[in-house]
Amino acid sequence: AAVKAYELRNKNKAELLKTLDEQKQELASLRVQKVAGGSASKLHQIGLARKNIARTLTVINQTQREQLRLFYQKKKYIPLDLRVKKTRAMRRALTPFEKKLKTQKQQKKENHFPLRKYAVKA
């Protein structure tokens, strides 16, 4: 019995948690049957049950984080795990705005002595 993720996404959080609990109970009972010497089909269900639990948890976490990102969209400070990850160095690097800043001296030079292009007449 493999539950489908797209069916899970229609449920709300309370229902999802309930299904998660049920799936865990199912897995627990299967483990018990394994110890009591279950049939091969029952033992096969253990793998399926574990993946079902994983699927439910994935759906729960995915929808949760999606909703949180919407919530924090307009805010200034957002939680660290919702921020962009990249690498540590890249996060500390200069922003594009900061990189393009020039001193007034340099601006003047560039204005007065821009790069000239010449063409040679054949």
Please report, as ranges, the residues that interact with another protein according to CB under 8 A: 24-25, 27-29, 31-38, 57, 64-65, 68, 72, 75, 77-82
Question: Token pair of 22, please?
Answer: 């049920």
Q: Is 43 in contact with 34 (CB distance < 8 Å)?
A: yes
Answer left, alpha or beta for residue 84, where phi above 0 means left and psi between -120 and 50 means alpha. Answer: beta
Q: Which is nearer to another protein, 72 or 106 (CB)?
A: 72
Beta carbon of residue 95, minimum distance to another protein (angstroms, whole number)? 20
Beta carbon of residue 50, minimum distance to another protein (angstroms, whole number)? 11
Task: State whether residue 10 is helix, strand or coil.
Answer: coil
Beta carbon of residue 87, minimum distance to another protein (angstroms, whole number)? 20
Residue at 59: amino acid letter? V
Q: Is 8 in contact with 56 (CB distance < 8 Å)?
A: yes
Q: Which is nearer to another protein, 76 or 99 (CB)?
A: 76
Q: Which is nearer to another protein, 11 or 24 (CB)?
A: 24
